[in-house]
Amino acid sequence: MKKIVFLHHSTGMSIWLGKSNRYLYKLTRKGDVQKFFAGYNQGNNKNYEIKEVAFPKSSPYGWNNYPYDYYNIWVKNAGEQSFMEEPTLEMLTKEYDVIVFKHCFPVSRISEDTGAPDINSDVKKVENYKLQYDSLKKKMHEFPNTKFIVWTPVVCTKNQITEDEAKRTHQFYEWMMNDWNEKGDNIYIWDYYKLQTEGNLYLPDKNASDPNNSHPNAEFSAKVAPLFCKYIIDTIES
């Protein structure tokens, strides 16, 4: 087991880079995550390969990577053919041994539940997320030889989210950790939520690009990148 893909958008790129300069990255194509794996491979006689992929792309599908979108591409439109130029799990699992995926921070802008959940709705509600996540889990279980790593929800700074939205995000996080999580299967949860919030409801300003920008800053990303790498390796080797 050696081929790993990280499906993400901009928050994921921040962690991928860590403290690496973005301009140098364009020349070297080596961020903190890649450097960590290169060092680990050399020191432990391993040959792990990791790559990052923007998923889904901005076009033609659109720059949305929320529970509905993974459900839409991987479950509702599953199969051997891509959906709107995005690879399905049938395609990805043939190429990669480990698939890591996440959502960006707008996933935490969650509306109030109505009591009428709809798996085919792209409206951000906890009740919809639960249906979509349950369906995704069932789909991932179809590929027992692949290990999946899912990030816990990414949240916003206090300036960019309401208290009710933050509480709903925490509610979904707790459900994901305590109810959705199933021991002994091929799905592993990386608790990014705990790292970013430090026990609170929001992304602290000290960890953000600025109070009005919920992307993690370089200092925080540099601390988190090696923890992310270690989790992936532990998942593979345990």
If one compares 238 and 105, the residue with the highest pLDDT of the two is: 105
Separation CA 24–CA 19 (nearest Å):
11
Rounded Cα–Cα distance for residues 203 and 215 (Å): 9
pLDDT confidence of residue 23? 72
Task: Give the 3-state DSSP-derived string for 66-83, with helices as H, strands as E and coil as C.
Answer: CHHHHHHHHHHCCCCCCE
Per-residue pLDDT averaged across 189-212, rounded? 97
* Span 80-125, pLDDT tens digits: 999 999 999 999 999 999 999 999 999 999 999 999 999 999 999 9
Q: What is the DSSP letter of 86?
A: B
Is the pTM of the predicted complex or chain greater than 0.85? Answer: yes
Decide if pLDDT at 141 tops 80. yes
- The two beta strands, 208-210 and 213-216, are antiparallel
87 touches 76 (CB < 8 A): no
Residues 207-213 have a mean pLDDT of 96
What is the largest distance, in Å, between two alpha-carbon atoms of the chain? 53
- The rounded distance, in Å, linking the Cα atoms of 153 and 62 is 20
145-171 pLDDT, tens digit each:
999 999 999 999 999 999 999 999 999
Please name each of the domains of the chain with its CATH number: 3-237 (3.40.50.1110)
Round the CA-based radius of gyration of the chain to a whole number and report it: 17
**Spatial separation of the C-alpha atoms in residues 43 and 97, rounded to whole Å:** 21
Q: In the prediction, which pLDDT does 1 show?
A: 62
* Whether residue 10 has pLDDT greater than 90: no
